[in-house]
Chain A
Amino acid sequence: MTDEKPSEAEKPEEKKAEAAKPEAAKPADAAKPADAAKPAAPAAAAPKPAAKAPEPVIPATAGKFEQFLKEHGIPSERLPLSLTIETIAVSGDVLQSALRLLRNSSEVQLDLLLTVSGVESNDTFDSVYHLWSYSNLDELVIKVLVKKSDVPEGDLPAVPSIANFWSAANWHERETYDLMGIRYANHPYMRRILNPWDWEGYPLRRDYKQLVDSLNDKNPHSMR
């Protein structure tokens, strides 16, 4: 089962026809086999899942932070992904200066870093930063998109680390490295945090296959 699922997700277009049959056999889908097949089609055809979002309602503070960054000479691009929160994309080179500015300036106090998450979409690896404020209601999502085609063969996508000036990011970046395989450059301690230190592969990636059966491992020298 575990071996099949990632490969299905990897090539939804090719395997859809085959996948439809075993799915219909499951009791859950047996009631509506035809219904189940229909909505799967647009999802598979769309290159970006989020692009299918039904016309986002732009909130009143549209582009507030994008505008703020522009005034300080940092380019960013608004993404129409979320319905309620402003989402912008910045390039990796300006990430540190952008976050420093958003955290410390007196006009915008985005000083609560909620999470750093890694997301794999069809053609990019995203490092996502959720910023809130301790003192006001502002919210912002910053994404750094690393194109898969830009990542050298056998290497990890790299994003600059912000752990040096924001301790909250330290463990989150380690976790993202551990599970999604995004390397944070200049991180003080870039080491796996949840998995064992000798673990191979990045479990949340779509092409991940478990090399060792961790429950039934017969190797007496194995750390797991």
Chain B
Amino acid sequence: MATEIQEIDLKTDEMIINMGPQHPATHGVLRLLLTLDGETVKHTEPVLGHLHRGQEWQGQNRTWFQYQALIDRVDYLSGMFTSWAMARACEEIDGTVVPPRAEYLRVMVSEMNRITSHLLWLGTYLIDLGAMFGFPFYPFREREKLFDLFEEIAGQRMMFNYIRIGGVVRDPKPEWLDKLKRFLDEFPDRIDEYETIVTQNPIFLKRTKDVGILTQAVAKDYGVTGPCIRSSGIPLDLRRTKPYSVYPELKFDVITFDKEGDTWDRYMARILEMRQSIEIIRQCIDKLPSGDIMGKKQMAGMRIKAGEGFSAVESPRGILGCYVISGGGEKALRFRWRNPSFCNLAILPELLKGCPLSDIMAIFGSIDVILPDVDR
């Protein structure tokens, strides 16, 4: 008896799947609506706002003094930079003169903060790629040492509230500087250690080389900043191109790669930035002048003159801008943040187009997005 052959149509429709918000590799809560054709991503729609805390609203409803304690939470991995952006915007309006010692201390703690931010990124990025063998504990070891130093100078390990409008809040003791120097002496060896494990690792290279290529045209169109755009060959580093604070007096070069950057380049850019930060901190320690550290009286009823100002600093993720409108009262009329994570995340749909499902986290992780910074 002949068997009857039946033709069955395979379903070849595109499939929409939901990724997140509680995905372990999204560094917070990000939801992606992915349209897949087999394993290939056709379209991505990020759904934001799960961590929206109304930071801009809070800026309008809290006094200057209260709000400067709150903004460390905007980007919890680099609190110094958010404080610094706000302080610079307010100083610009107010005409406050910041003492040189405070400026040097600001640069020092910010560069330390840049290192801690990149270290956390390095550890978690390897987890994103599936390296579950305990690598993250190597960068976290050094991160803890820096946090001990932060605790000593600011009283807090992550939410510093150290950079205030007009200066910084505490003067470090000479022993603190010695401890920092000792850390800087041993840290380059530690970076070598990470690089031994990661940089030329064949698995790592397979996951990152030629994956998620960011072209210059796309990057400019979306307003990407930070290590992402520098690794694509555009030398945009505010510390050099639009120098602020005491950066003109320090010697360092903008790190760029002379081609269109892939995921591995973005990794390498951050490793080089950590090495660069060490040199910057060393120069600051040598040049640190003596004198005052605060140029404006810190008190609960602090006022800023009427006017509007915009300031930007180069945070570990890119240009962090703060747009302040003051009416001369105890509270701001409008606070507006330009968060690098928010702007950099916008390229994700562009980068994911046509890549396989398993590369999503390799690409997403390499942009170094912090979700509280996106959602505010």
Contacts and interface: CB of A to CB of B under 8 A. Distances in A.
B376 A194 contact: yes
Interface string A39-63: 1101100100110111000000000
Interface stretch (B48-56, B108-116, B134-142, B282-290): B48-56
Contacts of A141: 310
B309 interface: yes
B153 interface: no
A42 B305 CA distance: 12
Nearest to B224: A168
B220 A134 contact: yes
Nearest to B54: A203
Interface residues of B, number: 48
Contact of B301 (A28, A120, A179): A28
B242 A137 contact: yes
B346 A83 contact: no
A188 to B, nearest CB: 12
A170 interface: yes
Nearest to A113: B223
Contact of A114 (B300, B321, B330, B334): B321
B222 interface: yes
A101 interface: no
Interface string A166-210: 111011000100010000000000001111100000011000000
B323 A117 contact: yes
A178 to B, nearest CB: 9
Nearest to A36: B301
Interface SS majority for chain B: mixed
B301 A53 contact: no
A130 B327 contact: no
B221 A167 contact: yes
Contacts of B303: 39
A167 B346 contact: yes
Given A49-B333, A83-B307, A168 B222 contact: yes
Contacts of A171: 342-343, 346
Nearest to A1: B61
A204 B220 contact: no
Interface in B59-77: 60-61, 63
Contacts of A83: 92-93, 307, 309
B352 to A, nearest CB: 15
Contacts of B225: 112
A119 interface: yes
Nearest to B236: A134
A81 interface: yes
Contacts of A50: 306-308, 325
Interface in A13-34: 27-29, 31-32
A5 B61 CA distance: 7
A38 to B, nearest CB: 11
Interface of A: 2, 5, 27-29, 31-32, 35-36, 39-40, 42-43, 46, 49-50, 52-54, 81-85, 111-115, 117, 119-121, 128, 130, 134, 137, 141, 166-168, 170-171, 175, 179, 192-196, 203-204
6 closest Cβ pairs, A-B complex: A168-B223, A49-B327, A28-B300, A52-B306, A194-B49, A53-B307
10 contacts: A43-B329, A46-B327, A49-B327, A81-B307, A81-B308, A84-B309, A113-B223, A117-B323, A167-B222, A195-B49
